[in-house]
Amino acid sequence: MLHRLSVVVQTPAHSAIAGPLTYDSPQPLPPGSLVRVPLGKRETLGVVWDVEPQDSTFEIRAIGDALHGLAPLNAAWRGLVQFAAQYYQRAVGEVALAALPPQLRELGAAQLTRRLKRPSGAIDANAADTTHSVALSAEQTSVIAEFEAQKGPFLLFGSTGSGKTEVYLQLVQSLLSRDPGAQALVMVPEINLTPQLEARFRERFEPRYGAASVVSMHSGMTPPQRLKSWLAAHSGTARIVLGTRMAVFASMPGLKLIVVDEEHDPSYKQQEGARYSARDLAVYRSQLETRLSTQADPDAAPCRVLLGSATPALESWHLSRPAAEGGRYVRLAMPSRIGAGSLPKVRLVDMNLQQKKTVFSPQLLAAIQQRVARGEQSMVFLNRRGYAPVLACSSCEWKSECPHCSAYRVFHKIDRSLRCHHCGYAEPVPRACPSCGNPDISPVGRGTERLEEHLAELLADLRRPDGGAVVVARIDADSTKAKGALEAQLDQVHTGAVDVLVGTQMIAKGHDFRRITLVAAINPDGALFSSDFRAPERLFALLMQAGGRAGRDAAHSAASEMWIQTMHPQHPLFAALKKHDYPDFAASQLDERRIAGMPPFSYQALVRAEARTQEAAQAFLSLASAAACDVPDVERVTLYPAVPMGVQRVANIERAQMLVESPSRQALQRFLLAWQAVLRATRSQPEAKGLVRWAIDVDPLSI
């Protein structure tokens, strides 16, 4: 007897085949089972889904192998995938299969069986209880007590250096000690922060729960490593999963706690494929896990979620207002630094008063020299890598434009190359201007490479307290390409071998640099007058995070400073930054957004189109907009005109976008769901010929 199954598989984006497909199976399989199924001329991995199989006029094919060695993916995982696919307007199979490790998608039943026979390092039940007893501050103790007393969701608003990580450790420790089957998911925004956090968690929990109890999940791991971590989480062997945004989809049958560190960070928003927000899905997942577990057992403990940041996203801050005003999150506050530490004093340097082309003002340079003389460290922050953003000719005005993008190629002096940071196209620096032959071509502007070189020249005659030469180091995406390079460079900073650290946002957040007493931001003004309404929020968060690297050791915190060189020292953003007053900044930004009808007081989606020509991209969007007049809820939605994207051409593909906005999240969702068919039909119109792809981005972070 054959059994009909609904199976979700990965199908092309926005294809007409968006739902589960029907297959025959010689045996019944529960929802969540992994199976190999034929799709066209190939075989692929699928997940048995809990919907009724559809009648089909086509021949119904039989499944291949069932991966019996793995327990089915549970209802909470399937519910999370279903919600993400629906909310972010993607096919459920696309989201489900992308959430599984790449190597698992390639394995057959026999290969998986061999893989599961490998030792995974079981938890040592007889290990000694090495529960750490850490002296907590009054604020940490209060926050933990309030967390345990309520269901949440929670927003931990903690100053940089206030001990948020220790709160995470304590909450995980408390959970695992009282529930032998519980699991915790701890998320960080950047791969480079994972090893640092992993070291602390392993030190705390491995002696008690074994080497397999803590695993990582991020895109920097090899496919075998990712599969091993996923299997450990799926089986329950791993009690703690540390990861980036992809970890929100980890299969964790005992999940009872989710922590999202630096929850404001834009890295939690996926920018390709299903453009999901891992932070928002973490909140939804905790509610879903709680609902399903209490349905099965009314006495089951809830799955709690904790979002942590010194500069929360304005959406999260707004949701954590008092319940009487409509807030849905519980706000927990830790405004003080651990010990006697204090936040750095903010100094503004008016660059209008400096000589033209000054890079380091005399005041800032003197402050850095004083730190070197005292054996302390300084950090110089510039969010632009490379030597210079442009190479230009002084005779004919030639600039190093990328032939494939509407952007300039960046000059990298180390390998004498011009490299596009959008499409990756690179070539050696020409000996003379390609346009007029003038040999006098020169860099314009500064990146971290040039800043590092300039600082080394300025400090060449200075000596450290031990008599050695000053060491200037750089950490950015270029200097950390090699495996282990980042860890090695961070070790040098931590041991005091580096006097001045130059870098991009990679060094501005998450790191616990105990010897840094001065942080300097060079030219942060670009975001002050950006057309993107979120730019001030991102700049404030980045500067607050960067400043938080200074004075983390109480012995030096009184002398810690943050220097900001700006052409606009009177800007309100800097006034709030000087006071380290995030609530005041957030209140002013929310007032502006309320008046303008911007998120979180409205809801947005972007439809992006990529085509061979800009005309075709915009024509597709305009046609789809015109055809939306009969779509449900269109009267509650505003469709703005199609416009080119900020960088409108990348890799010879033209890009355009159209903003869709509504005061109602439900109305926007209903409209987008019904509009999908219109968008698919519009693609075949003659005016849209040349269209390469299109995508919907719900809750976009940049416009």
Q: What is the pLDDT of residues 44-79, one digit of tens each?
A: 999 999 888 876 667 888 998 889 889 999 999 999
Contact 470, 462 (CB under 8 A): yes
More confident residue, 122 or 328: 328
303 is in an annotated binding site: no
The answer for residues whose C-beta is within 8 angstroms of residue 646's C-beta and 6 or more apart is none
Share of the chain above pLDDT 90, in %: 63
Structural element, H or E, at residue 77: helix 75-87
Q: Point out the least confidently predicted range of 11-25, 75-89, 174-188, 351-365.
A: 11-25
Under the banding of pLDDT at 50, 70 and 90, the label for residue 338 is confident
SS3 assignment, position 311: coil
What is the pLDDT at residue 558?
72
Mind listing the pLDDT tens digit for each residue in 450-475? Answer: 999 999 999 999 999 988 999 999 98
More confident residue, 10 or 133: 10
The three state secondary structure string of 517-538 is: EEEEEECCHHHCCCCCCCHHHH
629 is in an annotated binding site: no
Q: Is 132 a residue whose pLDDT tops 80? A: no
Compute the distance between CA of residue 140 and CA of residue 169 in angstroms, rounded to an integer. 11
What is the pLDDT at residue 126?
47
What is the pLDDT at residue 122?
53
- Structure token pair of residue 562: 């943050």
What is the pLDDT at residue 119?
67
Mind listing the pLDDT tens digit for each residue in 193-210? Answer: 777 788 889 999 999 898
Under the banding of pLDDT at 50, 70 and 90, the label for residue 115 is confident
What is the pLDDT at residue 57?
63
Mean pLDDT, to the nearest integer, of 139-162?
92
What is the pLDDT at residue 125?
47
What is the pLDDT at residue 591?
96
More confident residue, 52 or 37: 37
Mind listing the pLDDT tens digit for each residue in 630-672? Answer: 898 999 999 999 999 989 999 999 999 999 999 999 999 999 9
Mind listing the pLDDT tens digit for each residue in 484-534? Answer: 788 888 888 888 899 999 988 888 776 777 788 999 999 888 888 888 899
Under the banding of pLDDT at 50, 70 and 90, the label for residue 15 is low
Mind listing the pLDDT tens digit for each residue in 522-568? Answer: 988 888 888 889 999 999 999 998 888 887 665 666 778 999 999 99
Mind listing the pLDDT tens digit for each residue in 289-326? Answer: 999 999 988 888 899 999 999 999 999 999 999 999 99
396 is in an annotated binding site: yes
Mean pLDDT, to the nearest integer, of 424-428?
94
Share of the chain above pLDDT 70, in %: 95
What is the pLDDT at residue 68?
87
Strands (E), 246-375: 255-261, 304-309, 330-334, 345-350
Say how many Å lie between the first and final Cα of the chain, rounded: 55
Please name which of 321, 297, 702, 350 lies closest in space to residue 533, comparing C-alpha atoms.
702
Mean pLDDT, to the nearest integer, of 262-281?
94
Contact 97, 140 (CB under 8 A): no
Question: In the predicted model, what is the mean pLDDT of the chain?
Answer: 90
Phi then psi for residue 573, to 5 deg, are -60, -40
Contact 693, 272 (CB under 8 A): no
Mean pLDDT, to the nearest integer, of 330-349?
86
Q: Point out the least confidently predicted range of 177-186, 478-487, 603-612.
A: 478-487
What is the pLDDT at residue 278?
97
What is the pLDDT at residue 14?
64
Mean pLDDT, to the nearest integer, of 172-191?
93
436 is in an annotated binding site: yes
Cα-only R_g, the chain:
27
Compute the distance between CA of residue 166 and CA of residue 140 in angstroms, rounded to an integer. 8
Report all structural domains of the chain as residue ranges with CATH numbers, in order of start. 3-116 (3.40.1440.60), 138-334 (3.40.50.300), 345-385+447-594 (3.40.50.300), 388-445 (no CATH), 603-698 (3.30.70.100)
Helices within 518-632 (DSSP H only): 535-547, 572-578, 582-596, 614-626
Residue 243's DSSP bridge partners are: 187, 217
Q: Is 16 a residue whose pLDDT tops 70? A: no
